[in-house]
Structure 1
Amino acid sequence: MSEDVMPEPVVDVGGARELARDVLVVPDRRLPLVPNIGVIGGRHSVLVVETGLGPRNAAKVLEFAAGHAKGRRLYLTTTHFHPEHAFGAQVFAGEATFLVNRDQAEDLKVKGPGYLEMFRGLGEVVARGLEGVEIALPDVVYDREYDLDLGGRVVRLRATGRAHSRGDQVVEVPDADVLFTGDLVEAAQFAIFPWFPPHDTDVSGTRWLAVMRRLAERAPRVVVPGHGEVGGPELLADVRDYLRLLRDETWARRDSAAGERTIVEEVSALMIERHPEWTGREWIEKGVGCLCAEHPPPGPDPVD
C-alpha cells in the first residue's frame, strides 16, 4: 500500500468486545499493520496478547488492560516477533511479565533490529509509529509449551515450530474454546509469506500447512486471526485449504519445468479466481517463491 493512502496504524481500544467471559478482543478494524489484540482474565491475573505497532499503541493497550485488570497481575505475550505484534513490548516493562517461546525470543534478539529498519522504510506513517522503539527481550522464555495459570483459568501457550515465522505460537483458552493464532491465520486475506531471500527465508509453506492441519483438527469455537474478522473453525480450514492448493499448483508446474515467473502468473490467476474477495494478492507471489524453494526432488506425491 502506498504511503499516501496508508491510514495511521492506530489501535482503538474503544472497540473492544467480549468473546467469552473475561476474554476480550480489540479488533484491528481492517487497518494495515494493526493486529487483533487479546485480553484474557482469570481470578488473579490478566494476559495481553500482542502490543500493537510501537510505544504509543502499546501504551493504550497497557492502559486498557490495566483498567480491565483492576489490580490483577499483568502478563504479556506475542504470537511472533513482527513489528505490529511485538514492537511495543518495552512499554510493558515493570508493569507486566513478558513471556514467549525460545525461537521467538531469538527472533526478537537477532532479527528484530533488521525488521525495525525495514518497516521504518515503508513510509512516514509507519516510521512515526515506530518512533522510540527499543526491542524488548522477554522475562520468561519457554521451549515448546507453557501453561499460564491466571487463577481459575489456565491459558496454553504453544510454539508451533517454523511456519509463518520461526517462532510462531498460538494462545489457547480451553475453557472458553478460543484460539488466538497470530499471522498463521488471516481472515479474507491471502496468507502473508515474509519470503525475502537472501535476508529472510524462515517462512515455510510446507511446515505451515502441517501446522494448519493440526489446528483445523481441533476446530475451536472461536478463532482470533492475526488480522481480519474473528470467526470460527472455518478460518483454520480456509488457510489449510489455500496452502494445500498453493503447494499443489506450484509443485505441479515446477514438476513440468515451468519457470518461476510463469508459475507466479498462472497460480496467482487461479488463486484470485478462487478467492476474488480476499485482500493481500501481493503475497501469492511470495508464497510461490517459498514453495518453489521447498519443491522436493522427484518422488512420491505429497501426502495430505
Structure 2
Amino acid sequence: MAKAFASQGDMTEKKTSFVEIGDGLWAFTAEGDPNSGVIIGDESVMVIEAQATPRLAEKVIAEIRKVTDKPISHLVLTHYHAVRVLGASAYGAPEIIMSDAARAMVVERGQEDWDSEFQRFPRLFEGHESIPGLTYPTTTFSDSMTVYLGNRRVDIMHLGRAHTAGDAVVWVPDAEVMFTGDIVEYHSACYCGDGHFADWGETLENIASFDPVSIAPGRGDALIGRAKVAAALESTLDFVESTYRPAARVAARGGSLKEAWDAVRAECDPKFSDYAIYEHCLPFNVARAYDEARGIDTPRIWTAQRDIEMWEALQG
C-alpha cells in the first residue's frame, strides 16, 4: 500500500492575513493556502476567488465587512479548480465571471476535479457539506472584459496558458495592481498538474509587461512593491522550468515516470523543498511535465482513482 499523499496529513490550520495592497485593494492570504482578492469600488465590491467552501468564504467576507459595507456585486474566478470556486454560494448572487475556457473545464472535468482535490487535501474543504454543487459563471469572456465598480475600472484578461488553459488575471489600472491567481506564487509550490509548461514563461512575461506595483498571488504573501513582484515572477519561472527540464530529458530518452520523478526531485528539492505544498504538488507536477514532454498538449483529467494509481506507480 502506498503511503498517503503529503496533503492528506496536513491538518494544521493556517493563520490568515488581510493586507491592503493598494487603495481599496486587499489580499486575503493564508500561509500557502488559497488566497482571495478584494477590490472596493465607489459603489460595490469585487472578490477574486471564492475559496473551496461557503464556510471558508465566510472568513473572507468577515474581513471585507471590517473595511466596507458596500455590496459584493462581482465574483471573478481565475480558473476552474475546486478549491477556488466551490464557496461561491456564500457571496449571495453576484455576477460570477470566468473565461470561456475555464467554464468549458467546469463542464468537462469539474466534478472529477472536486472529487480528486477533496481526496488529496481534505483540510481545504472545511464545511464541504454546505457546497450546493458545481459553480458555473453567469458571464464569460474570451480575451478580455472590463467592469466598472462605479468609476473604478477593472480589466479581466486571459494573458496566456499557465496554471490552466483558462487562467484569468485581474488588473486595476488606477492603482497598478494585479491579481494573478495561481499563475504567480510566492514561497509556495506551483501546482502544475493541469498546467502548460511551454506557455507559462511567456504568460509571466505578459504579466510583467504591466509593471505592477503590487500583486496578490494565488498562494503566499501579498507582493507589495516592484522589487518583491519581480522576485516572485523570477522564482515562479524558476520553479516551473526546474520541474519541466529534468522530466523532459527523461521523456526524450524514453525513460519512465518514476525516472522523471527522481530527476525532478534531484533538481527541485535543494531549491524548493521548504515551499508550501511542495510535497503535495510534486507528483502531479511530474506527471504533467512528463505528459507534456511526450506531446500531450491537453492535460489528462485527474480523477480520484487516477491520483491513487499515479501515486502508487511513483512509490513502487
TM-score (norm 1): 0.81
- Specify the alignment match of 1:261 in structure 2: 258
- Specify the alignment match of 1:229 in structure 2: 221
**Residue 17 of structure 1 aligns to which amino acid in structure 2?**
V
- Specify the alignment match of 2:27 in structure 1: 25
- Specify the alignment match of 1:208 in structure 2: 200
| Equivalent residue runs for 1:263-302 within 5 Å | 263-279=260-276, 280-295=278-293
- Specify the alignment match of 1:115 in structure 2: 113
Contact 1:51 1:87 in 2 (8 A): yes
Distance 1:4 1:211, change over 3 A: closer
Structure 1 residue 161 displacement after superposition: 4.1
Structure 1 residue 47 displacement after superposition: 0.8
Structure 1 residue 123 displacement after superposition: 6.5
| Equivalent residue runs for 1:176-187 within 5 Å | 176-187=175-186
Structure 1 residue 223 displacement after superposition: 1.8
Structure 1 residue 64 displacement after superposition: 4.2
Contact 2:52 2:125 in 1 (8 A): no
Contact 1:58 1:91 in 2 (8 A): yes
Unpaired stretches in structure 1, ≥5 consecutive residues: 195-201, 298-304
Contact 1:8 1:126 in 2 (8 A): no
Distance 1:64 1:230, change over 3 A: closer
- Specify the alignment match of 1:240 in structure 2: 237
Contact 1:45 1:69 in 2 (8 A): no
- Specify the alignment match of 1:302 in structure 2: none
Structure 1 residue 222 displacement after superposition: 1.2
SS in 2 for 1:207: helix
**Residue 22 of structure 2 aligns to which amino acid in structure 1?**
A
SS in 2 for 1:131: helix
| Equivalent residue runs for 1:1-304 within 5 Å | 1=6, 3=8, 5-8=10-13, 12=16, 15-30=17-32, 34-65=33-64, 68-72=67-71, 74-94=73-93, 96-122=94-120, 125-126=123-124, 128-133=126-131, 134-194=133-193, 202-231=194-223, 232-279=229-276, 280-295=278-293
Distance 1:288 1:137, change over 3 A: closer
Structure 1 residue 192 displacement after superposition: 0.8
Rounded to whole Å, the distance in 2 between the matches of 1:180 and 1:63 is: 20
Contact 2:168 2:180 in 1 (8 A): yes
Contact 2:51 2:85 in 1 (8 A): yes
Higher relative contact order (CA 8 A, sep 6+): 2
SS in 2 for 1:233: helix
- Specify the alignment match of 1:300 in structure 2: none
SS in 2 for 1:19: strand
Contact 2:56 2:126 in 1 (8 A): no
Q: Identify the structure with the greater helix proportion.
A: 2
Contact 1:219 1:233 in 2 (8 A): no
Unpaired stretches in structure 2, ≥5 consecutive residues: 1-5, 224-228, 296-316
Structure 1 residue 117 displacement after superposition: 2.3
Contact 2:242 2:267 in 1 (8 A): no
**Residue 208 of structure 1 aligns to which amino acid in structure 2?**
W
1:147-173 C-alpha deviation (Å, 9 max, x unpaired): 111233211111234321232111112
Structure 1 residue 115 displacement after superposition: 2.2
Distance 1:115 1:213, change over 3 A: same
1:206-249 C-alpha deviation (Å, 9 max, x unpaired): 12233123223444221211111122222112112332343333
SS in 2 for 1:135: coil
Rounded to whole Å, the distance in 2 between the matches of 1:117 and 1:29 is: 24
Rounded to whole Å, the distance in 2 between the matches of 1:125 and 1:229 is: 20
**Residue 290 of structure 2 aligns to which amino acid in structure 1?**
C
Structure 1 residue 60 displacement after superposition: 3.7
SS in 2 for 1:290: helix
> Paired residues, what number?
283
Rounded to whole Å, the distance in 2 between the matches of 1:124 and 1:285 is: 17
Rounded to whole Å, the distance in 2 between the matches of 1:126 and 1:278 is: 17
Identity of aligned residues (%): 23
